[in-house]
Amino acid sequence: MSLKVDYLPYTLHFRFEAGTSRGTLTDKTSFFIRLSDTDNPTVVGYGECGPLKGLSYDDRPDFEEQLRQYCEEFNSLDLQLFRWNVPIVLNQIISPKFPSILFGFETAMLDFLSGGCRIIQASDFTAGQRLLPINGLIWMGKPEFMRQQILEKLQAGYTTIKLKIGALDFEQECELLALIREQHTESQITLRVDANGAFQPNDAMTKLERLATYDLHSIEQPIRAGQTDLLAELCQHSPVPIALDEELIGQMEYVHKFRLLKKIQPQFIVLKPTLLGGLRHCDEWIELANRLNIGWWVTSALESNIGLNAIAQYTAQFKHLVPQGLGTGQLYTNNIDSPLSVEEGHLHYNLAHPWNLSPLLKH
């Protein structure tokens, strides 16, 4: 038995211009880890490394070269894999400076150990018997485009809507929130917003007070990461519950995670495995959040269906979930066909829809 790993780069193309406060996205490149055994090459485990430009801790010019070196190092070792030694292998080979590579290798190994069927963690979800509640994401753009997205999400049966804010004029964004609230009460539609750190320190509280008039569930990362004293103060006094997102990036040590949450005391944290170093790091964040009475949910970070599949299966192990951020599988014109589908505001694993990796393998 000899384990071998390589990677396949693949560029995903958005169906529309996806606006955020950090700019507009039209495409995204992911690197797919492919793990197999030379004695049984039909069993292949796949994982996805998808760093985000301008956001990921490992968004750096030498990313692909580092990935190539990690593959070579893995191949030079005479490894035997078991579920219990996956964290050990990750710690030995991959630096915590590359969280998306950690996630890609981790999920490729778990897929391989499960027989290479894209089942990272079997559950009632992967059996097609349970649906995961998700929020409908509204991307930034011209007000008419955002209004159209809102109507489409409401007609599609979503009961939780999340709006990206911070790029348009604030008054225009408030008008969009007012549009929803004029027709749907807080008990009918849950509203979340994500500022991606766009608010300035001198007006953040004023904007939070204004946003509170729309009965929001939460706001993600109102100010840019790294301002922990101010963020702790906002979390203590804000009339809108605050969820940490970018603030968690780069915190790879358990004790540092604990100190951050203990100091800021947010109402929620948002977990993106690609940005945080994979599933085992999410385990640590969840354990700490539960201990400190902080709510949480899991969100994909523009992965293809391969990465989304792993994140969804990880999330499905938990019960009594609030709506998760797992509705990104419909973003791309050339996504990998998978059993994942969205039905009335829920993510479904439809066993009638098989995986089709041929676009990736032909690329």
Per-run averaged pLDDT (10 residues), the chain, 363 residues: 92 79 78 94 96 88 96 93 94 95 98 96 95 91 86 91 88 91 92 93 96 97 95 97 96 97 98 97 98 97 96 96 87 93 94 92 74
CA quadruple 331, 285, 62, 72: dihedral positive or negative? negative
**pTM strictly above 0.85:** yes
Q: How crowded is residue 11: how many other Cβ atoms within 10 Å of its Cβ? A: 11
- Every domain range in the chain assigned CATH 3.20.20.120: 132-362
pLDDT computed for residue 330 by the predictor: 80
Length of the chain: 363
Look at residues 314, 320, 324 and name the one whose alpha carbon lies nearest to residue 122. 314
Q: Which of 28, 153, 257, 272 is catalytic?
A: 272
CA–CA dist 5, 44 (Å, integer): 10
290 residue type, one letter:
N
So what's the pLDDT on residue 310? 98
CATH of 132-362, one of 3.20.20.120, 1.10.10.10, 3.40.50.300, 3.90.1150.10: 3.20.20.120
Which is catalytic among the residues 28, 153, 162, 164? 164
Task: Identify the residue whose tokens are 């040590």.
Answer: 253
Residues of the chain with CATH 3.30.390.10: 3-113
Q: How far apart, in whole angstroms, are the C-alpha atoms of residue 117 and residue 331?
A: 23
Residue environment code for 107-138, b if the CB has 16+ CB neighbours within 10 A, otherwise e: bbbbbbbbebebbbbebebbeeeebbbbbbbb
Tell me the residue ranges of DSSP E strands in the chain: 3-20, 23-37, 40-49, 132-133, 136-138, 160-164, 190-194, 218-220, 242-244, 268-271, 295-298, 340-343, 346-349
CATH number of 3-113: 3.30.390.10
Active site residue 164: yes
Report the alpha-carbon angle 327-333-339, nearest 5. 50
**Buried residues in 45-74 as b, exposed as e (16+ CB within 10 A):** bbbbbbbbeebbbbeeeebeebbeebbeeb
What are 119's two structure tokens? 């089942």
